[in-house]
Amino acid sequence: MNFIDFPALHDSFGILTQSYIPWLMIVPGLLIGLAGGALPGISGTMILALMLPVTPYMDFFTAIVFLTSVFTGAGYGGAVPAILVNMPGSTAAVATTFDGFPMARSGKHNEALGLGLAASTIGTLISYLVLFVLINFVAKAVLKLGPVEMAVVAIWGISMIAMLRGGNVERGILAGVFGLLIGTIGISPIGRMRGTFGLPELIDGVAVVPAMIGILATAELFNLARSKYIIDNDAARIVSFPLILKGFRDVFGYWRTLSRGSLIGIFVGAIPGVGASVANLVSYAAARRSDPDPNSYGKGNPNGLVASEAANSSSEGGAMGTLLALGLPGGGGTAVLLAAFAMHNVTGGPRFIADHKDTVYAILISNMVQSLLLIVVGLLFIRMAVVIIKIQVRHLVPTVIVIAMAGSYAITGNLTGPITLAIFSVIGWVFARYDYAPAAAVVGLLLGRFVESQFVFSHQLSGGKLSFILERPIALIMIAIFLISLVYPWINARMRCRKTNEE
């Protein structure tokens, strides 16, 4: 099989140069995505769904360029509030808060925003480049993944909980287990109501985004009330475009984390039903595990920020690959894209790739252009957003809290969101106060339902026999990689220890 179909590539330039209109849609699309992504509670999926009614007025290619631009913009938008006020704009930016916010509080807000943007755009670019070469293989690769392999991905995800434990091991893990349990409330795998205690609001489970914002962000905002500004040091509280640019350039110093994060993002994003909210966690975990100094994570290690942003952005490319190659959505955002495809009577899938390779290439190329344009648009966007640090905390806190409340209201469409937000803010504050690793609780909450389903599916498929896994070579390889990544830091430390002894 050929990697690149050159005649089709040639034809794709015809599509790309046919009209200037699609190109005009990129910048508005990116801005809408950035703004939507940056507003807590407004997810990329939601903003895409809101934009969907506009697209019938456009031709197919213009519509797809516009929607993917929104998608690309939203991929980075979530990082801005994550870094500046510890409030992830979407579930994909949870791991961005872990090191992004500590960086901001220590006065590295300009660099952190620039670095995040760089990781995000380069991650997107890498993912589309990989897709460009491997699109013919994506369908086959994705179809090789069954429930057992997904269960292994789930284990990768939960391993985060043990890492986020903070100072106190058993309390951190208890917080994670609490999150996993809360995450499974609602309709059980066999269609029964579970843990709703008669409340109709809980039928669909705890509203994840308001709960996440509550645990991670509002508790932190309350505590900020002790300070006059987000950044205590007056001298560090500056808005500097050169420093944003410096942060952007710094990304090349973290190329190892960047490329690992991008690859993880592509892989996790390509799995139908998983997507960016798992990818950023898996990537953060991998970065921390392979770092010689894992304890610096969570305290403002730029590697953590790069790992998260590279993965959540590149998972967009992975999801797009599955959408094009299989016609199946990898997550909420691509489900809306699929609807847009359908409105123009286009279905993805192997036949689409075979018959319309030129269109596929044109879509991939336009996405690469988008990620380059995101650099410019994003830099201007952060330059505007960063002034938040100049605002006094007493004015900032109520404003951000009211916006978070509105976002929670928007995401559930009723009062469940605001009330969930308030209750989980108190839970988050209590957890932080007594060292119960709030971040571990959020990871559990995000993964609970996914982990449970994949284990149930695996159990059903194997008929309950553990030996079934021996028939799954890919799952075995994935487990091996996981185990190696677990023991590697330990071996590494021993080796270094021996070396120093010898010297």
Partner 1 sequence: MNLRNIMLATITSVLTFGSTVAVSQDAYPDHTIEMTGPYSAGGGTDRLARFTASALSDELGVPINVVNRPGGGLFTGTLYFFNQAPDGYNIMFTPPTPYMVNHIENMGAPYKIDDFIYVNAQEVAQSLLMVSETSELQTLEDIIAGLREPGKLSAGVIAGSGEHISLLLMMKTLGIPAENLRLVTFDGGGPTRTALAGAQIDFGMVAGQGSEVIFDQVRKIAVFADEINPDWPEAVPVNEALAQFDVEIPILDSSVRSMVVRREFKEQYPERYETFVAAYRRAVESPEFQQAAEDGKFGAVWNGPEVSQEIVERNFNLLLEHSAILE
Partner 2 sequence: MKENFFTKLDRWGALLTALAIAAISIAYLTQSYLASSKLYNIIFLVPMVLIAVFLTVIIIGRSLKMVLKSSSADVTNNNPTPTSDGKNLVIAGLMGGFLVYAFSIRYVGFDVASAFYIAFSLWIQGERRIIVIVLMSVITAFAVTWLLIHGARVPAIATFL
Q: By CB under 8 A, tell whether 155 contacts partner 2.
A: no
Whether the Cβ atoms of residue 394 and residue 225 lie closer than 8 Å to each other: yes
Rounded CA separation 325/232 (Å) = 50
Minimal distance, residue 433 CB to partner 2, in Å? 4
User: Mind spelling out the 3-state secondary structure of 364-380?
Assistant: HHHHHHHHHHHHHHHHH
Annotate 379-400 with b (16+ C-beta within 10 A) or e (fewer).
Answer: bebbbebbebbeeebeebbeeb
Nearer to partner 2, 30 or 175 (CB): 175
Indicate which single residue of 162, 343, 393, 469 sits in contact with partner 2 (rule: CB under 8 A): 393
With CB under 5 to 8 Å by kind, the binding choice for 432 among partner 1, partner 2, none is: partner 2
Minimal distance, residue 206 CB to partner 1, in Å? 12
Q: By CB under 8 A, tell whether 463 contacts partner 2.
A: no
Rounded CA separation 476/456 (Å) = 19
Q: Which of residues 156-175 bind partner 2 (CB under 8 A)?
A: 167, 170-171, 173-175
Q: Which two tokens stand for residue 409?
A: 């209201």
Rounded CA separation 322/326 (Å) = 5
Residue with tokens 């990898």: 330
Minimal distance, residue 54 CB to partner 1, in Å? 5
Q: By CB under 8 A, tell whether 25 contacts partner 1.
A: yes
- Window contacting partner 2 (CB under 8 A); options: 78-86, 142-150, 402-410, 471-479: 402-410
Indicate which single residue of 10, 13, 17, 54 sits in contact with partner 1 (rule: CB under 8 A): 54
Q: By CB under 8 A, tell whether 349 contacts partner 1.
A: yes
Whether the Cβ atoms of residue 136 and residue 353 lie closer than 8 Å to each other: yes
**DSSP labels for 436-457?**
--HHHHHHHHHHHHHHHHHHHH
Q: By CB under 8 A, tell whether 349 contacts partner 2.
A: no
**Exposed, middle or buried, 144 (CB in 10 Å: 0-12/13-18/19+)?**
exposed
Q: Which two tokens stand for residue 254?
A: 């973290």
Contacts of residue 472, defined as CB under 8 A and 6 or more positions apart, other chains included, come to 146, 148, 149
Indicate which single residue of 4, 133, 169, 203 sits in contact with partner 1 (rule: CB under 8 A): 203
| End-to-end C-alpha distance for the chain, whole angstroms | 52
Q: Binding residues for partner 1, per CB under 8 A? A: 19, 21, 24-25, 28, 32, 45, 49-54, 56-59, 62, 142-147, 186-187, 189-193, 200, 203-204, 272-273, 326-329, 332, 335-339, 342-343, 345, 347-351, 413-414, 453, 456-457, 460-463
Q: Binding residues for partner 2, per CB under 8 A? A: 42, 46, 50, 167, 170-171, 173-175, 177-178, 180-181, 184-185, 188-190, 192-195, 197, 218-219, 222-223, 225-226, 393-395, 397-399, 401-403, 405-406, 409-410, 413, 415, 418-419, 421-423, 425-426, 429-436, 451-452, 455-456, 459-460
